[in-house]
Structure 1
Amino acid sequence: MTKIHLFLLVATLFVSRAFAGDLVEVFGIARCPDTSKFVKNQLVPFYEQFNANFSTDFKLDFHSVPTGGSEVNGRYVNKCLHGAVECALNKLQMCARKHIENDWMAVAGCVQGLKAYSEGVKCLPDTQEGQKVKQCAESEEGEYLLNDENSYRYNVAPGSSWLPWIQVNGVRNRDAEFHLKKVVCGLESMKDNGICK
């Protein structure tokens, strides 16, 4: 693990833990049918409809994770449940999160469930941000981001054997997989928000 990689991991863990409000985190994988159903039917529609009205004390995040990895010829290479294509799509999702300032969740939703990396690239905006995402996904940066997501997952959600795994303030909430808005509207930070009335 390089010094830069270690720094990115520590920074990721610190930033997420530093958030003092209500935190809803979704852990999933790009080609998983259950994750795809949740992302397409609940997460992205909810985010697109209501993100402008989220309380400053509320954060919704998505983590696309590999299942492991190893050193190969001096390079770290992630492994994913549904093979190399899934890892490539996962990288697109996490690189979008890093390099797209607004609406990266829409890109993640577009990529979710696709069968080919070339299809995922078509989800990227035709902008400089989109180019950065593609470069990230096709470089060691994307590999490191995916590995960081895996490390983060096993630190904050060590029991996450089912995907999508949805946590509310660090605790799995099974109901959120089927009733995301209801769960969010039950949170202290959101219960008085206009979207919940």
Structure 2
Amino acid sequence: MTKVAVFLLTIPIVFAGDLLEVFGIARCPDTSRFVKNQLIPFYQKFNADFSSDFKLDFHAVPTGGSNVEGHYVNKCLHGKIECALNKLQMCAKKHISKDWMVTAGCIQGLKAYEAALACLPDTEEGQKVKTCAETQEGEYVLNDENSYRYNVAPGSAWLPWIQVNGVRNRDAEYHLKTVVCQLESMKNQEMCKEEGKK
């Protein structure tokens, strides 16, 4: 019997509004600092005020991968634990219908897989995330994130890599709200009115 590996290529879906994307890895201190200090607090405080023409997204990415005994296995900068955490984050993105980013933020920077499992909701969705992360589904989900990264952010050597509408924005790493409030889709939102007065 011949085993055939299937590699999925993610084709970027064009979002018509303003798109702010964060590419990072679970054990990276710089990514963790940004996610914990800016991304998640910003998301939790303001996501209800996001314009329908603004999208905020997070991508946990591996460094590559290969076929191992007929199964695809990702490789990550900080080893197998990081890949396991990245898979949990991206499986949360796939299977949690609301506020998956909060779950991904909880997982960010942890050192142990068991600690990360405690971040999952105690629901059917949480169980789907765990199953996804511990099977080939998780490997392919993570591989898809990496394919997407190299399609839309081929120069993303530094992590976190933050880009707005396809262009890296270094200021966003330190001044996320200010950058968001300069966007055409967001500048008239309630959350940005005080920003405009500065």
TM bin, normalised by shorter chain, reads over 0.9
In the TM superposition, what is the alpha-carbon distance from 1:46 to its structure 2 partner? 0.4
Question: CA separation in 2, counterparts of 1:52 and 1:141?
Answer: 31
Question: CA separation in 1, counterparts of 2:42 and 2:93?
Answer: 17
Cross-structure match for 2:149: 153
In the TM superposition, what is the alpha-carbon distance from 1:136 to its structure 2 partner? 0.3
Question: CA separation in 1, counterparts of 2:47 and 2:95?
Answer: 18
Q: Does 1:64 align with 2:60?
A: yes
Task: Tell which structure's C-alpha radius of gyration is larger.
Answer: 2
Secondary structure of 2:82 counterpart: helix
Secondary structure of 1:24 counterpart: strand
From 45, 49, 53, the counterpart of 1:49:
45
Cross-structure match for 2:102: 106
Matched length: 189
- The aligned amino acid for 1:142 is G
Q: For structure 1, which runs of at least 5 residues remain unmatched after alignment?
A: none
Question: CA separation in 2, counterparts of 1:158 and 1:137?
Answer: 25
From 82, 86, 92, the counterpart of 1:90:
86
TM-score calculated relative to the size of structure 1:
0.94
Cross-structure match for 1:162: 158
- The aligned amino acid for 1:56 is S
* RMSD, aligned α-carbons: 0.9
Cross-structure match for 2:22: 26
TM-score calculated relative to the size of structure 2:
0.94
Q: Does 1:191 align with 2:187?
A: yes
From 177, 182, 188, the counterpart of 1:181:
177
Describe the superposition over 1:47-67 as per-residue Cα deviations: whole angstroms up to 9, x where unpaired.
001111100000000000000
Question: CA separation in 2, counterparts of 1:76 and 1:23?
Answer: 30
Secondary structure of 1:78 counterpart: strand
Displacement over 6 Å in runs of 4+:
none
Question: CA separation in 1, counterparts of 2:75 and 2:34?
Answer: 23
In the TM superposition, what is the alpha-carbon distance from 1:40 to its structure 2 partner? 0.2
Cross-structure match for 1:73: 69
- The aligned amino acid for 1:122 is A
- The aligned amino acid for 2:25 is I
Aligned residues with identical type, % of pairs: 76
